[in-house]
Amino acid sequence: MLTDAECRNATCPPEKSRARLACSGGLYLEVSPAGSKRWFWKYRKDGKEGRMALGSYPDIGPKDARKARDAAKLEKSKGRDPVQVRKVEKLKTLTPAANTFKATALEWYEQKSGSWSSHYAIREKRNLEKDLFPFFADRRIGDIEAIELLAVIRRVEERGALDVAHRVLTTAGQVWRYAVATGRAVRDVTPDIRGALKPHHGKHFAATTDPVKLGELIRTIRGYQGGPIVRAALQLAPILFQRPGELRAAAWAEIDLDAALWTIPAARMKRRKEGKENGDPHLVPLPTQAVEILRKLHPLTGHGALVFHGERSHDRPISDNTLRAALLTLGYGPDVQSVHGFRATARTLLAEVLDFDPLVIEAQLAHAVKDANGRAYNRTQYLKHRADMMQKWADYLDKLAAGADVIQFKAA
């Protein structure tokens, strides 16, 4: 074994590119002609010779070099590549030191939120701040056990918010996976408790799909005695079957009555942030019945920006609760027919009764769909098909309201 004195006095002959002085167990000191000295450990992996740098002399003496060699041997005996192990350890030192749950979660949020819609970003932040930070903020995320997280999630369940409990667990899972990726935790503990949560079955929006009952509903809506703005919105909801928020916030600038077309900007659609910023607008062909309703409404609200402005402020649209309350006054509570449920009504009857292509229906619903070849559906290219479908749908609603030509569902 090399002594400190031997290392200190070691030189490289001028005729050699380097000199190697063996120590023991594959450890040697390499000396360059310029006088620099470095420790290396020689080993074999998969039948090939490799070497691992252990530091420079005199910063590391012979004794410490042998300890470093023994540590590398131990890693190799465990079936791990000691060089790769050291690379991982070096990467860990480059990771920000803050390894608490809160610091990790906020870093994850900062990394990801730029691509989210504002609604999704707000929801994720609320999950963290309301249900996770109060219990784990200052804890090392790598020390938190699954049973602790389960106890916190069950607090959410005890509030009766089963859907929120599952969302909080999903948020926690994303934070844990980020912690694993950045070396703050060894593993994601969230899968361990997923099966322990109470099941949550999302509620479908109530929708009338029986043709006879739908005819009764349309007649009832047409007899609504409330204000003209709400009446017009109620009448258009089943005809156009767009999302309530998209309908309520419609602007006159989006609507071309002469062309019978409503162009909803991408920013107002239910999409991810990238889709809102760079996506195409959603086109809604207007059947003649919708155009007539809008023309009658225009003298009342056309001087402003919004088609369905509120009573208190013309700069704000009517609220979703306004339309819900209007349906309720007509005898249609949220368990019978919701405003959003008109989408399901149209989807069902257009396919099952009027026999329209489900692909065309889904496109008109502004759902992301693909054709049989896996290509994204081109909403603009098939505008003529959708215009025809929308007119036939409006005509069908007129017939149902008149109590005539009620086409039953096709036999299964």
pLDDT tens track for 98-109? 789 999 999 999
Catalytic residue among 140, 268, 270, 392: 270
Candidates 86, 58, 53, 45; CA nearest to 2 is: 58
Classify residue 311: in a domain, yes or no.
yes
Catalytic residue among 66, 166, 340, 386: 340
CATH number of residue 121's parent domain: 1.10.150.130
Can you tell me whether residue 385 is helix, strand or coil? Answer: helix
Examine the fold and report which residue of 31, 65, 94 is the final residue of a domain before the chain moves on: 94
Q: Side chain identity at 256, as an amino acid letter?
A: D
The single-letter DSSP state of residue 317 is B
Catalytic residue among 126, 377, 392, 399: 377
Indicate if 231 and 154 belong to the same structural domain.
no
Q: What is the pLDDT of residue 207?
A: 86
**Count of beta carbons in the 10 Å neighbourhood of residue 292:** 13
Say which residues have a Cβ less than 8 Å from residue 119's Cβ, sequence separation at least 6.
none
Indicate if 187 and 268 belong to the same structural domain.
no
Which single residue is written with the structure tokens 């062309």?
A: 259
* pLDDT, average across residues 374-392: 74
Q: What is the pLDDT of residue 37?
A: 93
Active site residue 377: yes
* pLDDT, average across residues 112-123: 82
Q: What is the pLDDT of residue 268?
A: 82
**Dihedral sign computed on CA atoms, order 333, 335, 339, 344:** negative
Classify residue 161: in a domain, yes or no.
yes
* pLDDT, average across residues 69-78: 87
Question: The pTM is what?
Answer: 0.55
Q: What is the pLDDT of residue 88?
A: 67
Classify residue 202: in a domain, yes or no.
no
Indicate if 167 and 233 belong to the same structural domain.
no
Can you tell me whether residue 286 is helix, strand or coil? Answer: coil
Q: Give 150-215 as a DSSP string.
A: HHHHHHHHHTT-HHHHHHHHHHHHHHHHHHHHTTS-SS--THHHHTTSPP--PPPPP----HHHHH
Catalytic residue among 248, 343, 347, 386: 343
Classify residue 322: in a domain, yes or no.
yes
Classify residue 410: in a domain, yes or no.
no
pLDDT tens track for 146-196? 999 999 999 999 988 888 999 999 999 999 999 999 888 999 999 999 889
CATH number of residue 47's parent domain: 3.30.160.390
The parent domain of residue 62 ranges over 4-94
Catalytic residue among 166, 167, 243, 347: 243
Indicate if 159 and 293 belong to the same structural domain.
no
Say which residues have a Cβ less than 8 Å from residue 153's Cβ, sequence separation at least 6.
131, 165, 168, 169, 172, 193, 197
pLDDT band (50, 70, 90) for residue 393: very high
What are the distances in angstroms from CA 358 to CA 264, 341, 367, 412? Answer: 22, 17, 11, 17
pLDDT band (50, 70, 90) for residue 121: confident
Classify residue 412: in a domain, yes or no.
no
Indicate if 234 and 337 belong to the same structural domain.
yes
**Average pLDDT over the chain, rounded to whole?**
86
Cis peptide before 33 (omega within 30 of 0): no
Examine the fold and report which residue of 94, 117, 147 is the final residue of a domain before the chain moves on: 94
* pLDDT, average across residues 338-360: 90
Longest Cα–Cα distance in the chain? 108
d(CA 73, CA 81) in angstroms, rounded, equals 10
Q: What are 17's two structure tokens?
A: 């590119």
For residue 391, pLDDT over 60 is answered with: yes
Q: What is the pLDDT of residue 177?
A: 94
What are the distances in angstroms from CA 36 to CA 16, 24, 63, 261? Answer: 14, 20, 19, 78
Q: By the 8 A CB rule, do 95 and 183 touch?
A: yes
Indicate if 353 and 295 belong to the same structural domain.
yes
For residue 123, pLDDT over 60 is answered with: yes
* pLDDT, average across residues 60-88: 85
Active site residue 343: yes
Please count the structural domains in the chain: 3
Lowest mean pLDDT segment, chosen from 36-45, 72-81, 126-135: 72-81
Active site residue 194: no
Indicate if 265 and 359 belong to the same structural domain.
yes
Active site residue 410: no
For residue 54, pLDDT over 70 is answered with: yes
Indicate if 240 and 356 belong to the same structural domain.
yes
CATH number of residue 317's parent domain: 1.10.443.10
Q: Which residue has the higher pLDDT, 370 or 351?
A: 351
d(CA 315, CA 322) in angstroms, rounded, equals 16
d(CA 211, CA 408) in angstroms, rounded, equals 7
Indicate if 334 and 215 belong to the same structural domain.
yes
pLDDT tens track for 25-35? 889 999 999 89
Q: What pairing do the DSSP bridges indicate for beta strands 261-264 and 255-256?
A: antiparallel
Q: By the 8 A CB rule, do 294 and 307 touch?
A: yes
pLDDT band (50, 70, 90) for residue 411: very low
Active site residue 367: yes
* pLDDT, average across residues 233-255: 93
Indicate if 16 and 89 belong to the same structural domain.
yes
d(CA 298, CA 303) in angstroms, rounded, equals 8
pLDDT tens track for 286-299? 999 999 999 999 99
pLDDT band (50, 70, 90) for residue 208: confident
Active site residue 272: no
Indicate if 226 and 329 belong to the same structural domain.
yes
Q: By the 8 A CB rule, do 361 and 389 touch?
A: yes
Classify residue 408: in a domain, yes or no.
no
**Count of beta carbons in the 10 Å neighbourhood of residue 358:** 11
pLDDT tens track for 328-348? 999 998 888 888 899 999 999
Q: By the 8 A CB rule, do 318 and 234 touch?
A: no
Q: What is the pLDDT of residue 92?
A: 57
Candidates 254, 230, 217; CA nearest to 320 is: 230
Q: What is the pLDDT of residue 412?
A: 44
d(CA 260, CA 205) in angstroms, rounded, equals 29
Sequence-ordered strand ranges (E) for 254-319: 255-256, 261-264, 282-285
Classify residue 40: in a domain, yes or no.
yes
For residue 376, pLDDT over 80 is answered with: no
Q: What is the pLDDT of residue 201?
A: 60
Q: What is the pLDDT of residue 407?
A: 52
Say which residues have a Cβ less than 8 Å from residue 249's Cβ, sequence separation at least 6.
268, 306, 308, 317
Examine the fold and report which residue of 71, 94, 117 is the final residue of a domain before the chain moves on: 94
Indicate if 181 and 52 belong to the same structural domain.
no
